[in-house]
């Protein structure tokens, strides 16, 4: 079936049996000490408990497996319990039947030194970097059966394409508004201190051409990696931001262009486009003024929620992911338990709320 035929009907994505299962992934080991962010040349398999999985098909007809996990945490910044959502997606081109083996799990969410097992498990090997599985002695037989059901659904989709190739991913959330809200993904590296704190969506007036939406993100900090010189430059840059802008938080803005029919939405990432650069880079400022319009590539839930990926340490971003091998924080700003604050201020209003200690005369 060709892509055009497939778009005539059917679903774009599918959440597989919603039992919590284990997910194992071979991840690179990164050195983040002393302001660094570099691959050590080593990798290790980590095991993640309480995950759910789903399928989606992209515009180029590639089948993707979307793995999600979450945990509740008290946020001092938000002064309440928030739900930290994590996502990892990868292409699936083949799948092996579930097999039973004996395994020792290293649960990433607990003490890295702790081990579970050896115990028997039912496991699906997706490739030499990704596995989904469940303990064979699980008290809930339905969870074990779910592994076999997941295998069959993936096998069926590989052999007989049923999902639409429209890049709409299902997040399995009940609160899915029709109002335009972008969804933000960022590599989940806690030690970098670069996470999103606030999201502001400022909508300009609707014209004959449609509507322009200004989206401003406030980050906890801007920790440089490649050019940090052991963290020295980070401290100097932090002092400069405090003096020049009256803040240490980093502020970045992109624009979303919405035609009247909501079709063919586009982004402009003026001076903050990442191109193909990943998290190790920290001085990327692609798309200078008169930035080109970039077509939205992915949506979450429906076409009201375009997806943006923060790709570099200096928060350059794009409509696609440049850090495929990393877990992402999934910021869904409209949810009541989201870890980010949601507002509607413009970039100009936000900047006016900060009081610089030094004023520079413009010529």
Entry pTM: 0.85
DSSP per residue, 102-118: EEEE-BTTS-TT--EEE
Q: Is the dihedral of CA 192, 25, 93, 40 positive or negative?
A: positive
DSSP state of 35: G
Predicted confidence at residue 36, as pLDDT, reads 65
- Which residue, chain included where needed, has tokens 């990433």? 108
Predicted confidence at residue 40, as pLDDT, reads 83
Predicted confidence at residue 194, as pLDDT, reads 83
Beta strand 196-203 pairing with 341-343: parallel
- The b/e string for 11-21 (b: 16+ C-beta within 10 A; e otherwise) is ebbbbbbebeb
Taking only the tens place, the pLDDT of each residue in 336-350 is 999 999 999 999 999
Predicted confidence at residue 238, as pLDDT, reads 59
Phi-psi label, residue 290: left if phi above 0, alpha if psi -120 to 50, beta otherwise: left
The end-to-end CA distance of the chain, in Å, is 62
Predicted confidence at residue 305, as pLDDT, reads 95
- 117 neighbors 103 (Cβ within 8 angstroms): yes
- Which residue, chain included where needed, has tokens 């394409």? 161
Identify any residues that bridge with 262 across adjacent strands, giving them in sequence order.
Answer: none
| Nearest-angstrom CA–CA distance, 150 and 51 | 13
| Residue 329 DSSP SS3 | strand
Please name the residue ranges forming H helices in the chain. 3-6, 141-159, 232-245, 347-352
Predicted confidence at residue 306, as pLDDT, reads 96
- The pLDDT tens digits along the chain (363 residues) read 223 333 334 555 676 766 789 999 998 887 776 556 777 888 989 999 999 998 888 777 889 999 999 999 999 999 999 999 999 999 999 999 999 999 999 876 666 677 898 999 999 999 999 999 999 976 667 777 889 999 999 999 999 888 877 788 887 788 899 999 999 999 998 656 788 999 999 999 989 889 999 999 999 875 555 555 455 455 665 555 555 555 568 899 999 999 987 778 999 999 999 999 999 898 899 999 999 999 999 999 988 999 999 999 899 999 999 999 899 999 999 999 999 999 999 999 998 888 766 665 554
Taking only the tens place, the pLDDT of each residue in 76-100 is 999 999 999 999 999 999 999 999 9
State yes or no: cis peptide before 85, omega within 30 of 0. Answer: no
């Amino acid at each position: 079936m060709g892509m055009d035929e497939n778009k005539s009907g059917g679903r774009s994505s599918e959440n597989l049996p919603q039992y919590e299962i284990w997910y194992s992934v071979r991840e690179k080991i990164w050195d983040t000490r002393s302001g660094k962010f570099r691959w050590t040349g080593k990798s290790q398999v980590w095991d993640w408990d309480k995950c759910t999985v789903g399928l989606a098909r992209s515009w180029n007809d590639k089948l993707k497996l979307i793995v999600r996990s979450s945990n509740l945490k008290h946020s001092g910044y938000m002064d309440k319990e928030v739900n930290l959502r994590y996502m990892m997606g990868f292409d699936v081109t083949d799948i092996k039947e579930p097999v039973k083996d004996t395994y020792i799990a290293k649960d990433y969410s607990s003490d890295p030194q702790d081990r579970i097992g050896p115990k028997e498990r039912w496991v699906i090997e997706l490739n030499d970097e990704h596995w989904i599985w469940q303990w064979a002695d699980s008290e809930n037989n339905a969870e074990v059966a779910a592994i076999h059901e997941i295998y069959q659904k993936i096998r069926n989709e590989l052999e007989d394409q049923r999902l639409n190739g429209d890049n709409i991913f299902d997040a399995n959330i009940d609160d899915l508004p029709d109002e335009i809200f972008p969804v933000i993904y960022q590599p989940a590296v806690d030690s970098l201190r670069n996470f999103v704190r606030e999201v502001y969506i400022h909508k300009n007036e609707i014209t004959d051409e449609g509507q322009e939406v200004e989206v401003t993100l406030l980050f906890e900090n801007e920790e440089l990696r490649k050019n940090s010189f052991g963290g020295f430059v980070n401290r100097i840059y932090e002092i400069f931001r405090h003096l020049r802008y009256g803040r240490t938080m980093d502020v970045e803005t992109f624009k979303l262009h919405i035609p009247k029919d909501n079709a063919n939405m586009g982004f402009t990432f003026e001076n903050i486009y990442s191109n193909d650069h990943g998290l190790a880079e920290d001085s990327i400022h692609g798309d200078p003024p008169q930035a080109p319009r970039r077509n939205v590539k992915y949506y979450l839930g429906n076409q009201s929620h375009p997806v943006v990926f923060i790709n570099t340490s200096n928060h350059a971003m794009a409509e696609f992911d440049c850090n495929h091998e990393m877990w992402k924080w999934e910021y869904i700003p409209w949810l009541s338990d989201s870890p980010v604050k949601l507002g509607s201020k413009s970039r100009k209003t936000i900047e006016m709320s900060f009081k610089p200690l030094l004023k520079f005369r413009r010529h």
